[in-house]
A and B are shown apart, each in its own frame.
Chain A
Amino acid sequence: MSTAPSSPLPSRPASPNPASSAHDATPIASARALRKVYGGGETAVVALDDVDVDLERGRLTAIMGPSGSGKSTLMHCMAGLDRPTSGEVVVDGDQIGRMSERQLTRLRRTRLGFVFQAFNLIPTLTARENITLPVDLARGSLDKDWFDEVIDVVGLRDRLDHRPSELSGGQQQRVACARALITRPSVVFADEPTGNLDSVASAEVLGFLRRSVDRLGQSVVMVTHEPSTAAYADRALFLADGRIVGDLADPTPDSVLEALRTHAPVRAGTADRAGGSSEAATDQGDR
């Protein structure tokens, strides 16, 4: 198990990251009075309850919380994948609540990147084709230099012509990460990126996400319930029952465990369980 790489991280969002091009202090994504209710009437489930949050540029932010805490829902809403019941979401300076489907598509295409727990590569395409797919979808032209840089960062050069089924889980997830970065998005959202990986592969992928922040100046938001994963982040947010209950700068596995214990006393033991195995039905409780 690797330790969190050292990174000078003052708690002030305005603090410049050496490799980052983001000098401005505006958050890369923020939510105000965000509310999401599934269902209606007596069976209504409040997944997000008045959440206010700002996510900084050029930082790796982890969203933590037990099953059903609303962390996936928070990410879906902030990434424009799901529409909130009420409240406002601003991504990279744009209100996404009132965006049309077309505008949302363009937003995802040009300014957002996604990494999924289940990798979700297109099985019929090679690694290279999967990576360049977002560019193809946007009918853009591929920036060859950037492509090379991304490939080097993920370290996949010799596997580019393989199909996903010929790659290991870690390799697949690295391909997925490269795919998320290829359009130079403003922010990458990662949903349990290590949920399906063993510890070695997890370390690879997390190391890569970390490097993309440090070296490429990328902003990354990731949802996880593993303290060791959260320890790679610059900041960890804790959700419970649809509310933000904690905010930890420079998390370490220990501080995260400690925070989980503090912030979710009624759910004592959840952290242990959640930290133990990859848990499949993250959103089951959310809905």
Chain B
Amino acid sequence: MFRVTWRGVRQHPVRFVLSVLAVVLGIAFVTGTFALRGVMADTFHAIVDSSMDADVYVRGVPTTSDRTASSGDDLVSTSANRTDLPLDLLDAAEPIAGATGVFPTVQGSVILVGADGTAVQGAGGGAPSIGFAAWPDDPSLALVSGRVPDAAGEIALETSALERSGLHVGDATKLVVAGEVEDVQVVGEVGFPGASGAILVAVDPTTAVATFAPDGTVPSIAVYAAPGTTPAQLAATVTADLGAQAGSVQVVTGDTVRAEAKASIDTMLGFVSTFLLVFAAIALFVGGFIIANTFTMSVRQRMQEIAVLRAIGASPSQVFASVVGQAAIVGVVGAAVGVLAGGGLVAVLREILDRAGMTLSGGVPIAVSTVVVALVTGVVVSVVAAALPARRAARIPPVDAMREAVTSGDRPLRLRGVLGLVLVVLGVAAVVTATAVDDGAGSFLGIAAVLLVVGMLVWAPAIATAVVRVLAWPVVRLGRPIGALARGNVVRNPRRTASTAGALMIGMALVGAAAVLATSTQASMRSVVDDSITADYLLRSASQDIPVGAADAAAEVPGVASSGRVWWGPTAIDDEPSYVLAVSDGLFGRGWDLDAVEGSVASLESGQVLVQRSAAEANGWTLGSTLTFAGAAAGAGGGTQDADSAQDADGARPGTAPGHAATTTATVGGIIESPAVGAPVVVPQALFEQLVPQTRRTLDMVLIEAAPGADLAALRAEIVDAVKPYLIVSVMDADEFASSLAQQVQQVLVILYALLALSIMERTREIGLMRAVGLGRLQLAAVVVVESVLIAVFGALAGLAVGVGLASAMPSAFADSGLSDLVVPGGSLAGMVVLAAVVGVVAAAWPALRAARLPVLESVTYD
């Protein structure tokens, strides 16, 4: 029996090519995701190992007692929500027994100007540029050539940064550091294993401390052990030396820090993989549909053969196993090719990243477990997809072997129609519920999505006849007799029509939902921006953080009436890690119209804070509530802009151990509801400066208003000019700022488009082959094409109905999250339907040609 199974596949490879391809696409995605994750993890772990190579680290204590927020872009320290330490914490003590070096982590972001006068971009445009203190004896710093910088205005570049910048040792260039442009000279080249695309700039320690640790605090201090001293011993020594201060800091071994860093990297990569795997799952789902269709067709063609097998003694389960076995072969082959394709995909990606300067470590790691997962997934998807056709095959009565023309007895569609309708109605009810309830709208929508998709699949054959009749009306009127014939063929077998249209339907539902969602999000963003931000121009930075110098330069451009800044930074509120936002005093009402739902925005000026309504509801805050902020160790006086005030950092509060989290309280003076404010709490500028150390502040946006009567175009040019030295700053007007979302979604959907095209091709082949004779060749071809188009358009419309319906509910369900406007992109949706029709034509081309060319007898006896 296995022979029959195997030969069936081997003798008709073409029949299964598209099925295999469908598996390949899905599995390649899965394998690629895992492999990419492996490569990234290896690379980042290697970076951790080489960049965090000290034996013991002293670091602050968490500012919150429970969980810590993860911080992504901080390569060397994992201390996003920890208190800072005084820079000289360990210097004050006697030399530590068993330690060879003590190096505070002094670093911050910089922008390096390359030989061509533009900013040097990290690999892929996204890797950070980091400046750090070049301590003379730091063992992790290997001098390649030149010397280590030891005076202001001197820098050394890491090898790959040097290559990338086009600079040479001895060249003069500019460095944007702490928001100002400085003239510097490259005095050396240093090696730093695992830089991996980041631009690393070594700065002399004095300058580094002044710029990156202006308040005299650092996130951590690295201690290297002398030979013969274990990290654990060293940690014990350091703890003992710290004495009473040990309670307010943590002394941990390098292994612990590295393990934590790797764990947080893995968590991050986990999110990325999950996102990719969701798409892989969708691809496999659609692929499963294609497989189900292929096998339905194969079973129909093999009906007599199967009946013979039954007559000569095959049991239903043997027939079932035979069909499922073929599916398993398809799954194994598809998965095997998919694994290779996935590996290839990652190899290509690696090559691209390598060209871009981001060298990933190792080969493409396709783990045994990945191969196993891929094979199992491929086989399971194929087998599950083929289960229904296989069951149908198993039910073919043996007496059919004796019959000449075998017809599949179609049962009435009434039950299916009712069941489908019930599911669809339930789905619609779930959508309505989702828009009505306050909590759990997301899960209602999820249930609705499943109900609607499954319901439509079940219901489709029952409504196919009616819908296609309507769709076909113009064709029938215009193209006699072809239109009527084609309609007849489509309507006569609603099951075939529905299953052909099924994959397209699922895909279109996704595409439609994504399109509506993207357009609506965009429109919501736009309306937020249009409604609230009245400034003429915005400055934003690709690196998130706008150099202060750029903001200053822009503000000084003649014709700029005013400019305001928007910062955000991490803190903890009521012992929960959180973020706060602050704007230049007076910005609200000048370039940014923010209205309070309760209380007033103006309360900011009297030192009160504003909270988002969603945050207020979640935390039970009301007007007049008191919020407790855990600021970093900071002077009570507020503004710590200048480095001079750093000295009083750890002495500001008598009785408070250095690095211990200070707390500050503030009253809620207003409740706001604005998605444009990307933080739960808005604090006054002074409070922000007190809470968030300068090194952790991010200047997110600068809003610029033109003087009345200024020439906007000319002004823009001047602003662009002014910020040019800070190259990664961009100047946008409100419109540009508001658009940029739908792109990525579209790219991933390309895979789905490919699968959809495949599914239509697969099925129209059948249409062409099952055609009866008696028509002129051209007419016959035309009939096949029209059929294909009718089916494709039917699938597209049904899918769009589901997708658009689901997505339409989202604005009302997620209004709180900033999705306020519903926009159905009629034009592009219509475009998709047209596209589906075109796919239908293309898919029908070959079968039509074939059907037209086939000699009559051959077409009757075609296997």
Contacts and interface: CB of A to CB of B under 8 A. Distances in A.
Interface in B1-45: 1, 3-4, 7-8, 10-11
Nearest to B316: A101
Contact of A137 (B8, B11, B309, B316): B309
A283 B403 contact: yes
Interface of A: 72, 76, 81-82, 101-102, 105, 108-110, 113-114, 116-118, 120, 122-125, 129, 133-134, 136-138, 179-180, 183, 191, 280-281, 283
A241 to B, nearest CB: 20
A165 to B, nearest CB: 11
Given A105-B316, A283-B403, A122 B1 contact: no
Contacts, number: 83
Contacts of B314: 105, 137
B264 to A, nearest CB: 56
Contacts of A108: 310-313, 398
A124 B8 contact: yes
Contacts of A123: 11, 305, 863
Contacts of B66: none
B315 interface: yes
Contacts of A134: 312-313
B304 interface: yes
26 contacts: A76-B399, A81-B398, A81-B402, A101-B316, A102-B315, A105-B310, A105-B314, A108-B398, A109-B312, A114-B401, A120-B304, A120-B305, A120-B308, A123-B11, A123-B863, A124-B4, A124-B10, A124-B11, A125-B4, A125-B7, A133-B309, A133-B312, A137-B315, A138-B313, A179-B312, A281-B404
A183 B313 contact: yes
A82 B399 CA distance: 6
Interface of B is mostly: helix
Contacts of A72: 402
Interface of A is mostly: mixed
Given A122-B4, A137-B318, A281-B404, A81 B313 contact: no
A109 B316 CA distance: 12
A110 B312 CA distance: 9
Nearest to B863: A123
A81 B311 CA distance: 7
B397 interface: yes
Contacts of A183: 313
Interface core residue of B304, B397, B403 (most chain A CB under 10 Å): B403
B368 to A, nearest CB: 34
A105 B403 contact: no
Nearest to B404: A280
A80 to B, nearest CB: 9
B312 A114 contact: yes
Given A108-B310, A108-B311, A134-B312, 20 more contacts: A81-B402, A82-B397, A105-B315, A109-B312, A109-B315, A114-B312, A116-B311, A120-B305, A120-B401, A122-B7, A123-B11, A124-B10, A125-B3, A129-B3, A133-B309, A137-B313, A180-B312, A183-B313, A281-B404, A283-B402
Nearest to B398: A81
A116 B401 contact: yes
Contacts of B312: 108-109, 113-114, 133-134, 137, 179-180
A281 B174 CA distance: 93
Interface string B272-313: 000000000000000000000000000000001100111111
Nearest to A118: B404
A168 B400 CA distance: 24
A110 B310 CA distance: 13
Given A280-B404, A283-B403, A109 B313 contact: yes
Interface of B: 1, 3-4, 7-8, 10-11, 304-305, 308-316, 318, 397-399, 401-404, 863
Contacts of A283: 402-404
Nearest to A105: B315
A117 to B, nearest CB: 8
A102 B314 CA distance: 10
A125 B403 CA distance: 22
A101 B863 CA distance: 29
B404 to A, nearest CB: 6
Contacts of A118: 304, 404
A122 B306 CA distance: 9
Contacts of A124: 4, 7-8, 10-11
A244 B557 CA distance: 111
Interface core residue of B3, B310, B397, B402 (most chain A CB under 10 Å): B402
A281 B402 CA distance: 11
B315 A122 contact: no
Contacts of A114: 311-312, 401
A122 B309 contact: yes
Nearest to B308: A120
Nearest to A81: B399
Nearest to A136: B1
Nearest 9 A/B pairs, CB to CB: A109-B313, A124-B7, A81-B399, A120-B308, A105-B315, A137-B313, A124-B11, A82-B399, A134-B312
Contacts of A137: 1, 309, 312-315, 318
A175 to B, nearest CB: 12
B857 to A, nearest CB: 15
A118 B3 CA distance: 22
A74 to B, nearest CB: 12
Interface core residue of A81, A125, A134, A138 (most chain B CB under 10 Å): A81
Contacts of B308: 116, 120, 122
B402 A122 contact: no
B309 to A, nearest CB: 7
A191 B403 CA distance: 10
Contacts of A117: 402
Nearest to B400: A81
A82 B310 CA distance: 12
A137 B306 CA distance: 13
Contacts of B310: 105, 108
A76 B402 contact: yes
A191 B402 CA distance: 7
B402 A136 contact: no
B3 A116 contact: no
Interface core residue of A102, A120, A123, A283 (most chain B CB under 10 Å): A120
A47 B79 CA distance: 88
Contact of B397 (A81, A122, A179): A81
Nearest to B403: A283
B125 to A, nearest CB: 56
Contacts of A76: 399, 402
A28 B863 CA distance: 38
Contact of A116 (B8, B11, B313, B402): B402
Contacts of B309: 122, 133, 137
Nearest to A77: B399
A179 B314 CA distance: 13
A133 B304 CA distance: 16
Nearest to A104: B398
Contacts of A136: 1, 3
Nearest to B399: A81
Contacts of B404: 118, 280-281, 283
A115 B703 CA distance: 89
B393 to A, nearest CB: 14
Interface core residue of B305, B311, B398, B404 (most chain A CB under 10 Å): B311
A117 B311 CA distance: 14
A188 to B, nearest CB: 11
Nearest to B402: A191
A55 to B, nearest CB: 18
Nearest to B306: A122
Contacts of A138: 313
Nearest to B312: A134
Contacts of B402: 72, 76, 81, 116-117, 191, 283
A183 to B, nearest CB: 7
Contacts of B305: 120, 122-123
A135 to B, nearest CB: 9
A180 B308 CA distance: 12
